Amino acid sequence: MEYPEQEKFVHAGLTKALLSGLEMAFEGDETNQSYGWYNGLLFSLEPLSAAQAGQSITEGGSTIAAHADHALLTLRVVLAMLNNQRIEADWQSSWKLRQLSEAEWNQLKSELRQQYQATRALIQEKPFWRETELTQMIHHIAHTAYHASAIRQILRSAP
């Protein structure tokens, strides 16, 4: 599909800024000075066991695993959109994940990392951005940061 020139945004700084924001939202590490104080989603999930991932603050509330599963689904939708594809997303089911085995938990974390890396690669290769794509990518970065923060709050509130 061809787009009119006025709908294309091309700037090296734009790609660099998107990659930086995405990296911070996923890989941020408060012990690394390049990220400052921020802990990203993958950094927050990596050391957790499956038992910890099954935690929620309230009875019946969202678990860490549910936040991770929801973030994975969102990443798949964004990646499809950036590839000019559309996938069906069952948003309600993404919140139902409660308990899982260590193998299932490790698989979820692995899939999340793979989808994140695929998104990074696509951003690096993208020759231009349409306004809708740029908007979705910025929203996705903020959305990921929200879930990283929600997970930290669950961990802080856990008994």
- Residue 26 — pLDDT band, cuts 50, 70, 90? very high
Residue environment code for 12-47, b if the CB has 16+ CB neighbours within 10 A, otherwise e: eebbeebeebbbbbbbbbeeeeebeebbbbbbbbee
Q: Which two tokens stand for residue 78?
A: 């964004």
**What residues have CB less than 8 Å from 17, skipping those under 6 apart?**
none
Distance CA 10, CA 128 (A): 5
Q: What CATH number is associated with residue 45? A: 1.20.120
pLDDT, tens only, 65-103: 999 999 999 999 999 988 889 899 998 888 888 889 999
pTM: 0.86
Q: What mean pLDDT do residues 133-157 have?
A: 90
Count of structural domains, the chain? 1
Q: Which two tokens stand for residue 92?
A: 């309600």
Distance CA 147, CA 66 (A): 10
- Residue 125: which domain range? 5-157
Share of the chain above pLDDT 90, in %: 46
